[in-house]
Amino acid sequence: MFSSKARYGLKAMAVLANRYGAEDYVSVEEIVASEHTPAKFLESILTLLRKQGLLVSRRGPAGGYRLARPPREISLAEVVRTLDGAFAPTTCARSRNPICCEGCEDMEHCYIRPFMRQVRDEMAAVLEGQSLADLADGYAPDGSN
Amino acid sequence: MFSSKARYGLKAMAVLANRYGAEDYVSVEEIVASEHTPAKFLESILTLLRKQGLLVSRRGPAGGYRLARPPREISLAEVVRTLDGAFAPTTCARSRNPICCEGCEDMEHCYIRPFMRQVRDEMAAVLEGQSLADLADGYAPDGSN
DNA sequence: ATAATCCCTACAATTCCGCTAGGAATTATA
DNA sequence: TATAATTCCTAGCGGAATTGTAGGGATTAT
């Protein structure tokens, strides 16, 4: 259900969370080396995360990326939402800007919507409740990759 | 996140749940009329649900579909799983037959897997916990569609 | 200057989704 | 037995999304 983008993104964020505090930047190449992700693809993913404000970058030698905020203050939800969009099963179940599904006319009376909202709420609760710090806790360099 | 197949399928199942008990069969055309779904597409969806054992069908005049079991005994999870597959964010988070994602080698040491499993578990809990009877409760013919 | 890095645009292959077409098999009914 | 109503089966198709790749421009440390 999550795309490769989200998976690669989460793993990259784990690497960056692990390096948070050290004042240097981590290059794409470095992340690729430790997580085995396609370089150019990862580059585009990190760009999205930067544009969303989750990362800060610097160009040139010794350039790269680092987290814009402490790992504890970035939830997994923010990362996934940036890369995969809202995680509601139907568009009418989104918390922000909900719209009817194809063929449905009245959101208020839609009888599947309450169930879809419930699914959304649970997913959101899990992902909002976990931060990059939690993710980095389980991280072992050269462990699983 | 859910496909049109799942949405159409859930709505069709709601119609059938509403008619459960009456000994007649409900035709595709009838469901199309009450839910505004593409006829041939719905046909293929109902076929999948029948093959999964959730529906029983009969051909010929007065033929159609009905639920294979009482609405209370068919969970939303069964319907969605039949049409959209497992609802784990990653293949390694599936409860049945989990396999590593691309580029991951060791599932046991993967540090994103526990979080993915948690998401899966919550989604599954919601959908296993609700039946077609619950869905039909909110159903009003010619209400939302 | 040079080299290392991110940044931007474009595009290409593949897969998946949503849906349609056409007819064969089955069955109730007259 | 003929007819009509239905499901069943196979095939395919157009468009969108996913998953990348290629190439070069901009920036910056050394």
Q: What is the pLDDT of residue A144?
A: 43
* Chain segment A58-67, per-residue pLDDT in tens: 999 999 999 9
- Residue A38's alpha-carbon distances to A30, A143, B90, B131, in angstroms, are 12, 19, 18, 43
Q: Does B79 touch chain A (CB under 8 A)?
A: no
Give the model's pLDDT for residue B145: 44
pLDDT reported for residue B138: 86
* Per-residue pLDDT tens over the stretch A21-55: 998 999 999 999 989 899 999 999 999 999 999 99
- Give residue B144's pLDDT band: very low, low, confident or very high (50, 70, 90): very low
Closest chain B residue to A110 measured between Cα atoms?
B144
Q: How far apart are CA A68 and CA A132, in angstroms?
A: 12
Residues 58-87 of B with CB under 7 A from strand D: 58-65
Question: Rounded to whole angstroms, how far apart are CA atoms B6 and B1?
Answer: 10
pTM of the predicted structure, to 2 decimals = 0.94
Structural tokens at position A89: 């099963």
φ, ψ dihedrals at A18, nearest 5°:
-65, -25
3-state secondary structure of B100: coil
pLDDT tens-digit profile of B28-87? 999 999 999 999 999 999 999 999 999 999 999 999 999 999 999 999 999 999 999 999
Q: Which of residues 18-37 of A have CB within 7 Å of strand D?
A: none
Q: What's the confidence (pLDDT) of residue A55?
A: 98
Asked if pLDDT for residue B97 goes beyond 70, the answer is yes
What integer is the mean pLDDT of A10-17? 97
Nucleotide nearest to B7 (CA to C1'): C18
Question: Is A42 buried (19+), middle (13-18) or exposed (0-12) by CB count in 10 A?
Answer: buried
Chain B CB within 8 Å of residue A114 CB: yes
A122: number of Cβ within 10 Å:
18
